[in-house]
Structure 1
Amino acid sequence: MKIFAKIRGAYAALVIIICVTLNIFAFLLLPKRHYKKIKTFFTRSILKLLGIKVITEGHIDPQAKMLIMNHSSLIDIPVIEATYPYDMVWIAKKELFDMPFFGLLLKLPDNIRLDREDRKSLVHLLKESKEKSQHKVIAIFPEGTRARGNKLLPFKPGAKIIAEKLHLKVQPVVIVCARERFNSKTLELNTGIIKVKYLPSFTPDPQTEWLKELREKMQEILDKERQELCG
């Protein structure tokens, strides 16, 4: 019943707030070389306490330098951080960095700030992405925000520009049933499985419409996987 999903959702929100707070304090107290282990520990704790099991499918390419993912729930980031074996930095909008206290979750591990109102933001974005991609994987949601329905939002050009300018190898990732498990818009939690499907990696060809074609491919896979898994 929906009322129980709402009660579970309130519980989920409390769990996330507590784990994020503890995560931030761990960042403040421990050296940065431990940050990946810290993120893995707390994100796995969140998923376990929420009754969410993550299964992965496909080959994770250790040479990939950018992950391109669909985005439908706040739980997407814990799902990836809990299961992806390599350290990553997220590209996120400036407003999230500016949040009191909780913005530290993005600032302390040196994630990349995106200011959509600043015309010079693209230069800053490319500079930071180039520097960070030397040692970490760039993680981006090209939709720019969480999709409300079952259709992917149009992909913004940021991922295309970064990948082409920096010649990054890209690995697409399809996250299946995240919103069905935790709807962060309506704050409803339903325990169950989320699938993370890693698609073959590639080096983008600037002469093609690869980002548009990738969105169509990810939508096709998402539709098929949802029918089988989400119910």
Structure 2
Amino acid sequence: MKILAHINWAIATAIIFANLALSIVLYPIVRRPYSRKIPAWIIRITTFFTVTVKGEEDPAAQMFLINHQSDLDIAIMETVSKKDLAWVAKKELFDVPFFGLAMSMPEDIPIERQSKSSLVRLMKNAKDRLNKGRVITIFPEGTRSRNAKMLPFKSGAKVVADKYQLKVQPVVLIATAECYDIKRFYYMPKNITVVFLDSFVADKNDENWLSDLRNKMQEVYDKEQKGALS
């Protein structure tokens, strides 16, 4: 089984990189968001994972907050959302050859940790993308979690949401690392559950809404995992 999972991983990884290249080629000739959604759908179809969606995407959502376990998470979200997503990611990823181009061409948003000037640029870039009708999309953990427990949420998402009083919709992805894990060289296609929670307008007077949201998302995650095992 492990050998099969490693072979699957090699094939899936090649497919993912090929479609990153495709997104770069498509961007100048196919209007956004389809330059990214077409490759995402190709990844989903050719790697044979399926998706069950619970809840509904809010057409008025301005920010998605999503838990993060796998490099497959972006492709999953691009295929379940109809929106033009502006992904927020650490600046180092934009400096990686090839991968950085696939993020910079569609105007995703870089953020540099521990930098006040980067936070100012984040606010400016977020406002620009919102004015273009895009949805700010963030993994608030800041990196992939390695198990079923979500990491503490970084404050950047709250700062942006509070500043512009955004309508925020949380999205919980269930156990995506059990499908694709780049560190274990592991891929096995499975059905992935995506849960759209109720959206809300960010309230800057509530200092704890982000941490409270993390707890709520964890509860949903745990409940879905328990249901899958029962």
* Length-normalised TM-score, structure 1: 0.95
For structure 1, the 5+ residue unaligned runs are: none
Q: Which amino acid aligns with 1:170?
A: V
Deviations 1:13-38 (A, max 9, x none): 111111111221112x415xx12112
Q: Which amino acid aligns with 1:98?
A: D
Choose from 173, 178, 186 the match for 1:175.
173
Choose from 47, 59, 68 the match for 1:50.
47
By how many angstroms is 1:227 displaced?
2.6
Partner of 2:219: 220
The whole-number CA distance in structure 2 between the counterparts of 1:101 and 1:37 is: 19
Identify the range of structure 1 (170-179 vs 219-228) with the bigger mean alpha-carbon deviation. Answer: 219-228
Deviations 1:102-143 (A, max 9, x none): 211110001111112533111111111111112110000000
By how many angstroms is 1:39 displaced?
1.4
The whole-number CA distance in structure 2 between the counterparts of 1:60 and 1:223 is: 21
Share of identical aligned residues, percent? 40
Number of aligned residues:
228
1:177–1:229 CA contact under 8 A, matched in 2: no
Partner of 2:84: 87
Partner of 1:127: 124
Partner of 1:18: 18
Partner of 2:93: 96
SS across alignment from 2:69 = coil
Moved over 3 A (4+): none
* Length-normalised TM-score, structure 2: 0.95
Q: Which amino acid aligns with 2:183?
A: K
What does 1:37-76 correspond to in 2, within 5 Å?
Answer: 37-76=34-73
**1:11–1:230: structure 2 CA closer, same or farther, 3 Å change rule?**
farther
The whole-number CA distance in structure 2 between the counterparts of 1:219 and 1:117 is: 26
SS across alignment from 2:18 = helix
Partner of 1:109: 106
